[in-house]
Amino acid sequence: MPRSLMLIDDHHMVLDGLRRYLASIDDVDILAVSSVDEALDSMRAKGPFDLILADLHMPDAHGFDWLAQIAMANRQNPVAVLSGSTSYHDVVVAQSVGACCFIRKNTPARRIVELTEMLLDNPDQIPDEIKMENLSDIPPTLAGRLSAEQCETLVMVAQGMSNAEISNRMGVTVSRVSEQLRSIYKKLGVKSRMQASALLMEASV
């Protein structure tokens, strides 16, 4: 039985190009949709897909709740973000709403095909290059010890932002920021914002 793959992107040229490239994968049925409503309607009619590749910013949806709906409707099957965004904050948000990994659209087409095939063949084995924790702007020696949300928090702490400013930027409560900071300090073996920032600076050299 062919595996099922859904592509979600509001740009028809992107969808057409992706569908052409991904058609080279053996034994896969591809459905390309250009709106969130169309995606959800298709999932109600067909059930979960073996893999969904979804753009992050869709004009017919506000915020990222729609991606959470897609991830929930796809049950345990993977939903991967395929986005042109270079914002690490978007990586954090994608992870928080249930995406399994983040593929940037500037990835060579051949590599996108390879990554897609890997996700279809082994959905529980995410290639290192598209794991959320490996897409941060901080050195791997630190990123490997922190969650994606904590990486984002640490970067903003090093930029001198207060808990309130971080809370506003990330769309979480101040108490959540404080909780993440305590966890960061424990994981990195430091006791203060200054020490955490200094450790980041040293690791970045």
pLDDT at 204: 60
Return left, alpha or beta for 27; rule: phi > 0 is left, psi -120 to 50 is alpha, else beta. left
Whether 36 and 58 map to the same domain: the answer is yes
Q: Do residues 81 and 66 lie in contact, with contact meaning Cβ atoms separated by under 8 Å?
A: no
Mean of the per-residue pLDDT values of the chain = 90
Neighbours of 170 (CB within 10 A): 19
The residue with greater pLDDT, 43 or 65, is 43
Whether 10 and 71 map to the same domain: the answer is yes
Domain containing residue 194: CATH number: 1.10.10.10
Q: Find the range with the poorest average confidence among 7-21, 74-88, 172-186.
A: 74-88
Q: What is the mean pLDDT of residues 148-174?
A: 87
Domain containing residue 87: CATH number: 3.40.50.2300
pLDDT at 200: 81
Residue type, 109: A
Neighbours of 21 (CB within 10 A): 14
pLDDT at 136: 60
pLDDT at 159: 76
Q: What is the mean pLDDT of residues 34-54?
A: 97
Whether 117 and 153 map to the same domain: the answer is no
The residue with greater pLDDT, 72 or 84, is 72
* C-alpha dist (Å) from residue 178 to 26, 96, 135: 48, 18, 23
Of the residues 99, 134, 169, the one at which a domain ends? 134
Spacing of C-alpha 26 from chain mean position: 26
Which residue range(s) make up the domain with 191?
Answer: 140-204
Whether 52 and 148 map to the same domain: the answer is no
DSSP of 22-89, one letter per residue?
A: HTTSSSEEEEEESSHHHHHHHHHHH---SEEEE-S--TTS-TTHHHHHHHHHTTTS-EEEEE----HH
Q: Is the pLDDT of residue 62 over 60?
A: yes
| H helical segments located in 124-173 | 140-143, 148-158, 163-170
pLDDT digits (tens, 9 = 90+) for 94-144: 887 889 999 999 899 999 999 999 999 999 999 988 987 666 667 777 877
Whether 118 and 148 map to the same domain: the answer is no
Whether 153 and 188 map to the same domain: the answer is yes
Q: Is the pLDDT of residue 84 over 90?
A: no
Report yes or no on whether pTM surpasses 0.85. Answer: no
Of the residues 134, 149, 169, the one at which a domain ends? 134
Question: What's the burial of 194, exposed, middle or buried (CB within 10 Å: 0-12/13-18/19+)?
Answer: exposed
Handedness of CA 53, 28, 40, 48 (dihedral sign): negative
Q: What end-to-end distance do the CA atoms of the chain give, in Å? A: 51
Of the residues 109, 134, 159, the one at which a domain ends? 134
Q: Is the pLDDT of residue 202 over 60?
A: yes
Whether 125 and 44 map to the same domain: the answer is yes
pLDDT at 183: 96
Q: What is the mean pLDDT of residues 163-169?
A: 90
